[in-house]
Amino acid sequence: MAKILSAGIQSLVEDLNGRAGYMDIGIAHSGFMDHYTGRLVNKVVGNELNEAGLEIAGGNFAIEFEEDSIIAYGGATIEGTLNDTPVEPYMAIAVHPGDVFALGRIAPTTKGFRQYLAIAGGMEAEEYLGSKATATYGNFGGYQGRSLKKDDVLCLGTITEKNKAHIGKKVKQEYIPEFSDTWVMRAIPGPDAAPDFITEEGMEEIFSTEYKAQMFCDRSGLRLKGPKPIWNPERANAGGHPSNITDHGYPGPGGVNISGDTLILFPAECPTSGGLICALSVIYVDQWMMGQIFPGRDKIKFSYCTQREAIALRKEQMAIFEGETCLE
């Protein structure tokens, strides 16, 4: 078992895949917002990639272990300590009864926003519709369907021989992404782009603007600040706001929704449908960045990509997690 001593802004039990297959009843996939770091930390402790782990937003977190375990953390540049001694991220470390693993406070200089803590064998959690991921909209899955609180107790999973063999292993430096306060995400135009909704010029503008993350950011959406989109004049004059269309399924995660004149990035727990356009879609391999955007501070840019390129990049990213490729 392990007890939460401090739960920070929002600490959630999540997994990699979430619950796919229920978007048609309004249930988002959910799961790790930063799927890349979530994979890395599970990989390094010797877990299955879909094992449940903790997603911790904004640091200020502490957990006390009451049994032997193996853990690894990664993500935002907030220092992790074991019994007040700094420990390396992206490395599998053994913990023993009485050990306290903690994450410091987030600072204006912090790069990234969320950290992921993998624990050997994962943890017990409410498995709902095939996943342990917490759904913060609807309050199911995870730890009683909610964010962790101080004094919550996690029942840890069973440590395997594989987990034990991973103690001391690290993620190779080349596979650890460099965090910054500017996130360049590759994106594909569509489903609702030029010429029908936004002009060519307007799309050029979206792909060349530096947007700023607003304070209003959560697991369902990250609002961006930037210029007003350049709407197709025919649509703008059709009555109603040009961003409004007949309700449709949202390509999420990944879609870039336009609500009125505001762009909203769609992360893991975005709405599954609605009546607004999605002008472009962040490609799968870059969607992890949405989990690392520092609200109110970070800048976001979209870099043009084709569907074909995106699929090739996806193959490359999946290869990183095959066997022990990314470990040393």
Partner 1 sequence: MGKFDPVLKRIPLREGCPEIVFRQAGDGFIEVVYGNNEASANKTIKDIILRSLRVIVINGKIKESKIPGLTETVPGGESLLYVFDPLKIEVDDLIDRITQIEMALPDVYDQVIETRVLHMPLTFEHSLIKKAIEKYVKEVNPDAFYCKDGSNLEYIAQYNGITVEELKQRFLETEWLVSMVGFFPGLPYYYPLNPASAITCPKYNPARTWTPEGAVDLADYCSTIFGVESSGGCQLIGRTVPIFQAKAVHSQFEKSPALFKPTDIIQFYEVSEQEIDDIYEKVSKGEWEYQTTKRVFSVQEWLAFYEEHEEEMKQLQKKQEMARKTVRQV
Q: What is the DSSP string of 216-267?
A: EEETTEEEEE-PPP-B-HHHHTSSS-TTEEEEEE--TTTEEEEETTEEEE--
H helix runs in the chain, sequence order: 35-45, 161-165, 200-206, 233-236, 307-320
CA atoms of 153 and 2, how far apart (whole Å): 6
Tokens of 30: 């959910």
Q: What is the DSSP string of 132-164?
A: ---BTTTTBSBBTTB---TT-EEPB-PPPHHHH
Taking the complex as a whole, the smallest distance from the CB of residue 35 to partner 1 amounts, in Å, to 12
Residue number with CB closer to partner 1 (119 or 268): 268
Is the Cβ of residue 79 or residue 247 nearer to partner 1 in the bound state?
Answer: 247
Residue 104 vs 138, nearer CB to partner 1: 138
User: What is the nearest approach in angstroms of partner 1 to the Cβ of residue 139?
Assistant: 7
Closest approach, Cβ 228 to partner 1, in A, equals: 14
User: Rounded to the nearest whole angstrom, what is the least distance from the CB of residue 260 to partner 1 in the complex?
Assistant: 6
* Footprint on this chain of partner 1 (rule: CB under 8 A): 20-27, 128, 135, 137-140, 145, 188-198, 200, 203-204, 235, 238-241, 244-251, 254-255, 259-260, 262, 271-275, 278, 281-284, 304, 307, 310-311, 314-315, 318
Q: Which residue, 104 or 191, is less far from partner 1 as judged by CB?
A: 191
**Smallest distance from partner 1 to CB 193, Å:** 5
Q: Which is nearer to partner 1, 88 or 261 (CB)?
A: 261
- SS3 state at 307: helix
230 token code pair: 């350049």
